[in-house]
Amino acid sequence: MKNDGLSIASMILGIIGLVFTFVPGLNFLGILCGILAIIFGIIGKNKIANSNGELSGTGMAKAGLILGVIIVALFVLTLIACGALISTIS
């Protein structure tokens, strides 16, 4: 069986996005990678399900999807924390 390319891309983007999320100044690249990881993970899982066993890589698609959701959640929590900090200062 052959691995699906979008599943591989989803996992790689999830890992890179998670690293960029914690690097100051590159947070926006992290959220971009996270969103792409979610999209590629969903499309990859659907392609694998419709391939009648010709494609594999469901685990990589799930990993990319989960990492993408974690990245987006961390970004939203960071925005909420910054908003709370700014409101207490002013």
Domains of the chain, by residue range, sit at 2-89
pLDDT for position 76: 94
| Residue range 54-65: mean pLDDT, rounded | 94
Residues 40 and 79: their CA atoms lie apart, in Å, by 25
pTM of the model: 0.91
- What Cα–Cα distance (Å) separates residue 55 from each residue in 5, 24, 44, 83? 10, 38, 10, 45
Q: Return the pLDDT at 37.
A: 97
Helix (H) or strand (E) holding 78: helix 58-89
Q: Mean pLDDT of all residues in the chain? A: 94
Tokens describing residue 36: 């792409």
What is the structure's pLDDT at 86?
94
Angle, alpha carbons 19-23-25 (nearest 5°):
130
| Mean pLDDT (whole number) for 56-61 | 94
